[in-house]
């Protein structure tokens, strides 16, 4: 069996959060390793983390697994599903293991999200260029404009992925509560062109969780300016290390924006839930 350090490295290429979650589970003896390999041809692991409310399968291989490995994954997963039909079961897979992703779908898992984790690699503070944008904190009178901005900015992405296209309007109270908490922590900033809300960024910890631009103003350089402002804010006021973000696989334009601004891919994920 491969060492725990290699296991955590393989899980980390799915996501940094997955690595932390599995590491804690290893320390608490809540992990069952079904299969692992470390060779010149392939490095990989297939395991499950068992908790009372939810169990999560993880599969990560440096190269596509052979038929024998796929059979093991199918057999162990199918058996566990039958034995745990009243528990939530998830399956997180390294995003480049296409054969395992296809197998998970065959077994009845629904894709929740596929995408990438990116990390900022710039050494110096980004320099803010001249802009007509005015930055402001969040205020309660801005709520409806925030809702319109977020739902319009995410509309195509939500539609492409089969997600609810007006979630911020639908869950207005929850969104308002989140914005008020973010404001208290100094983790939300809005950008205005005269009296029109054009963009917003939100960060939590070392993650940029949202960077939205009104569709009419996209691809005009505003995204880079707002991103640079966010990075400066995180580094100056929070002394944040390893600034990261998640971007969906379908959001090609956003990924290109981040890569132009010194972000690199550090992980690739495909998250699933059993239906």
pLDDT tens for 90-108 read 999 999 999 999 999 999 9
The answer, yes or no, to whether residue 247 has pLDDT greater than 70, is yes
The answer, yes or no, to whether residue 1 has pLDDT greater than 70, is no
pLDDT tens for 126-175 read 888 878 999 999 999 999 999 999 999 999 989 988 889 999 999 999 99
- What's the confidence (pLDDT) of residue 237? 74
- What's the confidence (pLDDT) of residue 47? 98
* Strand segments (E) across 69-160: 88-94, 109-120, 134-136
pLDDT tens for 188-246 read 999 999 999 999 999 999 999 999 999 999 989 899 999 999 999 999 877 678 999 99
d(CA 231, CA 252): 21
Name the nearest CA neighbour of 84 among 119, 48, 114. 48
Name the nearest CA neighbour of 54 among 93, 95, 84, 97. 84
Q: What share of the chain is helix, strand, coil (3-state, %, to 5)?
A: 40, 30, 30
CATH 3.40.630.30 fits 134-267, yes or no: yes
Domain ranges of the chain: 4-107, 134-267
Q: What are phi and psi of 104, to 5 degrees?
A: -60, -40
Give exposure, 17-45, as e/b (b: 16+ Cβ within 10 Å): bbbebbbebbeeeebeebbbbeeeeebbb
pTM of the complete model beyond 0.85: yes
d(CA 73, CA 32): 13
- What's the confidence (pLDDT) of residue 19? 97
- Do the strands 244-248 and 263-274 form a parallel or antiparallel pair, or are they unpaired? unpaired
């Amino acid at each position: 069996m491969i060492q725990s350090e290699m296991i955590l490295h393989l899980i980390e290429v799915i996501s940094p959060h997955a690595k932390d979650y599995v590491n804690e589970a290893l320390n608490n003896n809540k992990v069952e390793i079904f299969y692992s390999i470390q060779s010149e041809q392939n490095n990989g692991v297939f395991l499950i983390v068992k908790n009372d409310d939810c169990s999560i399968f993880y599969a990560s291989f440096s190269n596509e697994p052979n038929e024998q490995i796929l059979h093991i994954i199918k057999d162990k997963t199918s058996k566990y599903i039958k034995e745990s039909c009243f528990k939530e079961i998830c399956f997180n897979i390294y995003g480049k293991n296409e054969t395992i992703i296809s197998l998970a779908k065959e077994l009845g898992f629904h894709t929740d999200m596929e995408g990438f984790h990116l990390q900022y690699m710039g050494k110096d503070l980004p320099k803010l260029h001249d802009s007509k944008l005015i930055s402001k904190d969040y205020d309660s009178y801005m709520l409806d404009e925030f809702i319109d901005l977020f739902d319009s900015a995410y509309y195509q992405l939500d539609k492409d992925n089969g997600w609810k296209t007006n979630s911020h309007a639908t869950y207005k109270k929850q969104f308002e509560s989140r914005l008020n908490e973010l404001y208290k922590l100094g983790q939300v900033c809005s950008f205005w062109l005269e009296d029109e809300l054009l963009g917003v960024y939100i960060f939590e910890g070392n993650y940029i969780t949202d960077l939205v631009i009104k569709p009419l103003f996209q691809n005009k350089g505003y995204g880079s300016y707002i991103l640079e402002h966010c990075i400066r804010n995180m580094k100056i006021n929070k002394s944040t290390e390893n600034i990261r973000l998640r971007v969906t696989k379908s959001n090609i334009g956003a990924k290109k924006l981040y890569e132009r601004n010194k972000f690199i891919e550090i992980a690739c994920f495909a998250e699933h839930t059993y239906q």
